[in-house]
Amino acid sequence: MEPTTVNRCIAHRFLLRLGLVLVVGGSADAVDEPSPERPFVFERAVWHGVDDAPWSIDAAAFDGTPDRSEVVTSPVGFADAGDGSRQRLRGWIEAPRTGAYRFSIASDDDGVLLLSTSEDPANGRPIASVRGFTGRDEFDRQPTQTSRPIVLIKGRRYHLEARQRNVDGTGHLSVAWQVPGGPSGIHVPIGMRLEPAFRLEVWNGIARGEPYPLEVLQTPPTRVEDLYSMYSADVGTNVATRLRGRFRAPASGPYRFQVTADDLATLRMRRSGESGEWRSIAGLSSWTPPDVWTGRTGQVSEPVELGEGGVVELEVLHWQGAGPGHVGVGVSGPSGLDSRPLRAVSIPDRKGESETQ
Ligand SMILES: [Ca+2]
Ligand SMILES: [Ca+2]
Contacts of 220 by beta carbon, 8 Å cutoff, 6+ apart: none
Please give the distance, rounded to the nearest whole angstrom, from the Cα atom of residue 47 to the centre of ligand 1: 15
Determine the Cα–Cα distance for residues 201 and 191; give it in Å rounded to an integer: 31
Residues 176 and 205 in one domain: no
Query: One-letter amino acid identity for 137?
Result: D
Among all bound ligands, the one having the nearest atom to the CA of 208 is 2
Residues 101 and 204 in one domain: no
Among all bound ligands, the one having the nearest atom to the CA of 327 is 2
Q: Per the domain annotation, does 301 fall within a domain?
A: yes
Q: Per the domain annotation, does 167 fall within a domain?
A: yes
- Banded model confidence at residue 99, pLDDT cuts 50, 70, 90: very high
Q: Per the domain annotation, does 2 fall within a domain?
A: no
What pLDDT, on the 0 to 100 scale, is given for residue 16?
A: 37
Which has the higher per-residue pLDDT, 248 or 276? 248
Q: Per the domain annotation, does 145 fall within a domain?
A: yes
Among all bound ligands, the one having the nearest atom to the CA of 320 is 2
What pLDDT, on the 0 to 100 scale, is given for residue 235?
A: 96
Residue 202: C-alpha distances to residues 60, 195, 258, 268, 322 (Å): 56, 21, 21, 17, 15
What pLDDT, on the 0 to 100 scale, is given for residue 350?
A: 74
Residues 153 and 242 in one domain: no
Please give the distance, rounded to the nearest whole angstrom, from the Cα atom of residue 338 to the centre of ligand 2: 26
How large is the average pLDDT for residues 306-320?
Answer: 95
Is 217 within 8 Å of 289 (Cβ atoms)? no
Please state, as a whole number, how many other Cβ atoms lie within 10 Å of the Cβ of residue 99. Answer: 16
Q: Per the domain annotation, does 58 fall within a domain?
A: yes
What pLDDT, on the 0 to 100 scale, is given for residue 51?
A: 61
Residues 72 and 165 in one domain: yes
Q: Per the domain annotation, does 192 fall within a domain?
A: no
What pLDDT, on the 0 to 100 scale, is given for residue 213?
A: 62
Domain boundary among 125, 160, 185: 185
Q: Per the domain annotation, does 12 fall within a domain?
A: no
Residues 93 and 141 in one domain: yes
Is 111 within 8 Å of 88 (Cβ atoms)? no
Please give the distance, rounded to the nearest whole angstrom, from the Cα atom of residue 112 to the centre of ligand 1: 15
Please state, as a whole number, how many other Cβ atoms lie within 10 Å of the Cβ of residue 138. Answer: 18
Among all bound ligands, the one having the nearest atom to the CA of 171 is 1
What pLDDT, on the 0 to 100 scale, is given for residue 55?
A: 63
8-54 pLDDT, tens digit each: 333 333 333 333 333 333 334 444 789 999 999 999 999 998 765 55
Give the β-pairing of 99-108 and 338-339: unpaired
Please, where are the H alpha helices in the chain? Answer: 3-24, 28-32
Please give the distance, rounded to the nearest whole angstrom, from the Cα atom of residue 91 to the centre of ligand 1: 24
Q: What residue numbers bound the domain in which 69 lies? A: 34-185
238-256 pLDDT, tens digit each: 999 999 999 999 999 999 9
Percentage with pLDDT > 70 across the chain: 86
Please give the distance, rounded to the nearest whole angstrom, from the Cα atom of residue 74 to the centre of ligand 1: 22
What pLDDT, on the 0 to 100 scale, is given for residue 354?
A: 43
Please give the distance, rounded to the nearest whole angstrom, from the Cα atom of residue 324 to the centre of ligand 2: 5
Residues 108 and 154 in one domain: yes
How large is the average pLDDT for residues 106-115?
Answer: 96
Please give the distance, rounded to the nearest whole angstrom, from the Cα atom of residue 76 to the centre of ligand 1: 16
Residues 224 and 273 in one domain: yes
What pLDDT, on the 0 to 100 scale, is given for residue 24?
A: 37
Please give the distance, rounded to the nearest whole angstrom, from the Cα atom of residue 122 to the centre of ligand 1: 29
Please give the distance, rounded to the nearest whole angstrom, from the Cα atom of residue 262 to the centre of ligand 2: 5
What's the CA angle centered on 137, arms 193 and 29, to 5 degrees? 70
What pLDDT, on the 0 to 100 scale, is given for residue 272?
A: 78
Is 263 within 8 Å of 325 (Cβ atoms)? yes
Among all bound ligands, the one having the nearest atom to the CA of 107 is 1
Among all bound ligands, the one having the nearest atom to the CA of 321 is 2
117-165 pLDDT, tens digit each: 999 999 999 999 999 999 999 999 999 999 999 999 999 999 999 999 9
Residues 94 and 70 in one domain: yes
At 217 the three-state DSSP class reads helix
- Banded model confidence at residue 94, pLDDT cuts 50, 70, 90: very high
What pLDDT, on the 0 to 100 scale, is given for residue 95?
A: 96
What pLDDT, on the 0 to 100 scale, is given for residue 9?
A: 37
Please give the distance, rounded to the nearest whole angstrom, from the Cα atom of residue 107 to the centre of ligand 1: 9
Among all bound ligands, the one having the nearest atom to the CA of 108 is 1
Please give the distance, rounded to the nearest whole angstrom, from the Cα atom of residue 126 to the centre of ligand 1: 21
What's the whole-number average pLDDT of the chain?
87
Determine the Cα–Cα distance for residues 150 and 157; give it in Å rounded to an integer: 14
Please give the distance, rounded to the nearest whole angstrom, from the Cα atom of residue 26 to the centre of ligand 1: 39
Please give the distance, rounded to the nearest whole angstrom, from the Cα atom of residue 139 to the centre of ligand 1: 16
Residues 268 and 341 in one domain: yes
Contacts of 150 by beta carbon, 8 Å cutoff, 6+ apart: 100, 101, 102, 103, 115, 127
What pLDDT, on the 0 to 100 scale, is given for residue 52?
A: 56
CATH number of the domain that residue 171 is part of: 2.60.120.1560
Tell whether the model's pLDDT for residue 2 goes beyond 80.
no
Among all bound ligands, the one having the nearest atom to the CA of 326 is 2
In this prediction the pTM is 0.72
Residues 174 and 208 in one domain: no
What pLDDT, on the 0 to 100 scale, is given for residue 195?
A: 83
Is 43 within 8 Å of 89 (Cβ atoms)? yes
Please give the distance, rounded to the nearest whole angstrom, from the Cα atom of residue 155 to the centre of ligand 2: 48
Q: Per the domain annotation, does 279 fall within a domain?
A: yes
63-82 pLDDT, tens digit each: 789 999 999 988 999 999 99
How large is the average pLDDT for residues 104-124?
Answer: 97
Among all bound ligands, the one having the nearest atom to the CA of 82 is 1
Please give the distance, rounded to the nearest whole angstrom, from the Cα atom of residue 178 to the centre of ligand 1: 26
Least confident of 5-19, 136-150, 205-219, 258-272: 5-19
What pLDDT, on the 0 to 100 scale, is given for residue 3?
A: 37
Please give the distance, rounded to the nearest whole angstrom, from the Cα atom of residue 306 to the centre of ligand 1: 38
Q: How many domains does the chain have?
A: 2
Residues 67 and 120 in one domain: yes
Residues 208 and 161 in one domain: no
